[in-house]
């Protein structure tokens, strides 16, 4: 929606285990976030402009690393986000589900705002509450929530 409103939009798929954004677009892209963080490629080489959308680009998850949390906790991730903020109007970062791994917490503390998405009949309320408190303690602004099917 943001890209259709003329906002230069970037989606970052930081769920390096499942890579759901690549599946969503039906693409098979090998380079991505994990490769950038491991300094095997640059963001310029890895960001893909999506055909059919004027202002939409995606940084896919990349090669599946043995330990995604290690890559996401590096200072390179924060530096990458800071670099990209200067280039895009809107950046959406997808992470693994709350409670599955610590990815969501690692990613969220490096973002300005967070939208919490819970899956109906799957995400436990206590997990959402715990995540909310972690984010508030870290000074992260929770701007909304979504309950998905």
Instruction: With CA atoms as reference, report the closest residue to 97 among 118, 74, 126.
Output: 118
Measured CA angle at 74 (ends 62, 64), to 5 deg: 20
User: What is the pLDDT at residue 79?
Assistant: 95
**Nearest-CA neighbor of 112 among 148, 134, 138, 73?**
138
Beta strands in the chain (DSSP E): 9-13, 48-49, 56-59, 90-94, 113-119, 141-148
- Kindly state the tokens that stand for 63: 């090669």
Q: Per-residue pLDDT for the chain (149 aa), expressed as one digit of tens each?
A: 788 889 999 999 999 888 888 888 888 888 999 999 999 999 999 999 999 888 999 999 999 999 898 999 989 999 999 999 999 999 999 988 776 656 788 888 888 888 888 888 888 889 889 888 988 888 889 999 888 88
d(CA 33, CA 83): 13
Using the 8-state DSSP alphabet, how is residue 41 labeled? S
pLDDT at 5: 86
User: Which residue's entry shows tokens 């799957």?
Assistant: 122
Q: Rounded to whole angstroms, how far apart are CA atoms 59 and 84?
A: 11
Which tokens is 95 given? 């992470």
Q: Is 76 exposed, middle or buried (0-12, 13-18, 19+ CB in 10 A)?
A: middle
Residue 86 CA to residue 13 CA, distance in Å, equals 19
Q: Map residue 145 onto helix, strand or coil.
A: strand
Predicted structure pTM score: 0.88
Please tell me the predicted confidence (pLDDT) of residue 100.
60
């Amino acid at each position: 929606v943001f890209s259709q409103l003329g906002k230069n939009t970037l989606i970052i798929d930081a769920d390096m285990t499942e890579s759901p954004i690549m599946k969503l677009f039906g693409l098979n892209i090998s380079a991505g976030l994990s490769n950038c963080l491991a300094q095997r490629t640059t963001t310029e080489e890895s960001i893909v402009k999506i055909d059919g959308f004027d202002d939409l680009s995606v940084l896919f998850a990349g090669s599946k690393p043995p330990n995604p949390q290690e890559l996401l906790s590096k200072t390179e991730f924060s530096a990458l986000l800071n670099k990209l903020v200067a280039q895009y109007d809107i950046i959406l970062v997808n992470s693994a589900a709350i409670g599955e791994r610590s990815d969501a917490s690692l990613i969220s503390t490096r973002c300005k705002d967070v939208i919490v998405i819970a899956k109906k009949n799957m995400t436990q309320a206590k997990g959402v509450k715990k995540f909310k408190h972690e984010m508030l303690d870290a000074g992260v602004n929770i701007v909304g929530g979504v309950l998905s099917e």
